[in-house]
Structure 1
């Protein structure tokens, strides 16, 4: 089996909150190293089933080997696709309702650790950042071909980078001389664009810009909103969705979508009880996000920003 070193964050908690039924059907939208999928399979009986999605061929191949027995037994189906196509791909499998859906968002450790993928600002590599290596759009295209205005927009929106204009201007000037080909070149441009004093605080100076480009290349927020909308509609009453996020943009999107669906409509003041027809279809299982315990953060530095939110369909 090929190496796929990845420590699954909040593995037990995310599955615990799904309230797994032994005969249920569950979807892991972010297969990765298969940690959550394995935890789900462990809790299912002989008739329970997991469908796991990943757009990365490396993850699919690894888990085809890791879970060969479960796949052969019909307990696990692997789907290589973006989870924005959740409903369509499940319908192909004859599935129209599910008991639970799990998302573990962000880039998996092997994607970061494989320097050839271009996700990391700590290693020099070709500008790529594709989670699905079969898609056309790469980080090189974004950096070299997107307009100054578009670069500023994504750096602000997806990276919350306050030096977005300066970084975009440095990129624009550099690419007029020659194309920007590598992550190392991009990191140097970002460093030049940020004042020296600002570079000394807040982590690596390229972190926010690289996050922004990665989100743009993979349309991560658009895909998440589409997929979550489908997941919520697929749930049976009592079914739940668990979502682990690693950055504020994703967490805010999940928080907003969950709250909207669990919200009681505006009703006249003084009603003793909420009429049955006005009760929401969903409820928040946790009011505040669940975060990893200290011992997990100590072992896995990528766990420090993780937040788990859970919602349940009640009718």
Structure 2
């Protein structure tokens, strides 16, 4: 997936091209964007931006994500019936990834960028968790399962407190009931000494979970996807002013859309990047399943890689081998 990281960087840089070009001159020597058909790094960057910021460029990456969705739908029955216990136990998580990817596409088709960011965040965390949980210790995996049982138990008696008073409560039989032993044990496990709910199933941060995945299968692109999407999507979820307008390019200093044409370019490039990041994350999950020996994963992973290369080439996000050698020396 080192190739994915390189392509992801180019795609995301395309969103910032105008800001870069307005604030600094073209590079005098080839560096990150290197040479492509005899062009300078600056001209390669410019051509790439023009393609990604078009309807055609967006559609190319949309087709890539559509392909990934199809691969996952084809693989889903084999995951559900997997002989690998952790894989089959987390079938619902893989199904949720499929639903997220479909939702991102539907939102993208309706130009709902802010909401597409939010769903992309969910997809990335689910993919990261699914992969991490295949590789983590038994204790971490058990905690994840027990956390679900804990949440099930707490659904029967929930309340909200503010300023020291209960403001709302939903309780079965006014809270006078006994939970099944397994669920009661899970609730106790995620209750602090002060009687408060523990709201995390793990103390391993999301980036550290991604690092565990990379240690298993090599560079994955998860870090680039998390960096590009997670923080901004979180702002949208938390209701900040930044989170309400960032997707419009309002804070892209030097590249703020000023008219319908520039806003359209921004929309195309943003959606292209979201599709690329989502599809790339799904490719990582396929790579993990392949490494585990999951039936059907090898064929799906090969198909995913081929689709990625085709999309990257069609969207002008790849360069020839001589660029790779230059990049590695930068």
More helix as a share of residues: 2
Q: Which has the larger radius of gyration?
A: 2
Which gives a bigger RCO, structure 1 or 2 (Cα 8 Å, sep 6+)? 2
Does the alignment reach a TM-score above 0.5? no
TM-score where L is the length of structure 1: 0.24
TM-score where L is the length of structure 2: 0.23
